Copies of this chain bind each other. A is one copy, B any other.
Amino acid sequence: MKITRAGDYALNVMVYIGSQEKNKLFMRNELSEICGIPDSFLGKILQSLAREGILYSERGKKGGFKLLRDPSEITLYEIIKAVEGDIKINDCLVDSNFCAGLSNCNIHSVLNKIRDSFIEELKKYTLENIIKG
């Protein structure tokens, strides 16, 4: 029941970029050093964020990453989802056959509600909220 390290790193690097000069491009290895995140691993994280339209990325010399939107328009949910995929909370939600043999699937409708409100909570907070404290 934990956010993965990749998710935590993603939050950190997004907060850093969001707190700097707008439109400046940051190179991966620069971000790696500043945020203390292993370079290659950070590569995968930044790619996920770029694929989801949260970061802009540019290849080649003078390439790098920057935000595509204002920090006030980026929620924690988007960031976590970009690197970890959909939030599921339990196995039954993944595979509807899983609970077939188990006693009571009211459980899973309750867990669904809990998951939904967890997601709502993650959507409440934006990068800006974090940057401004």
Beta-carbon contact of A35 and B103 below 8 Å = yes
Can you list, as one digit per residue, whether each of A71-92 has a CB less than 8 Å from chain B (1) or not (0)?
0000010001000100111111
Which stretch, A48-56, A60-68, A121-129, touches the partner chain B? Answer: A121-129
Q: Knowing A1-B2, A35-B102, say if A110 contacts B130 (CB, 8 Å).
A: yes
So how many copies of this chain end up in the complex?
2
Q: How large is the interface on A (under 10, 10 to 19, 20 to 34, 35 or more residues)?
A: 35 or more
Please, how many angstroms separate the alpha-carbon atoms of A5 and B90 in the complex? 8
Which stretch, A11-19, A22-30, A38-46, touches the partner chain B? Answer: A11-19
- Enumerate the 5 nearest inter-chain pairs by beta-carbon distance, A residue then B residue, closest first: A36-B101, A16-B103, A15-B104, A3-B90, A12-B102
A binding-site residues for B, Cβ under 8 Å:
1-5, 7-8, 11-13, 15-16, 19, 34-36, 76, 80, 84, 87-92, 101-104, 106-107, 110-111, 114, 117-118, 121-122, 125, 129-131, 133
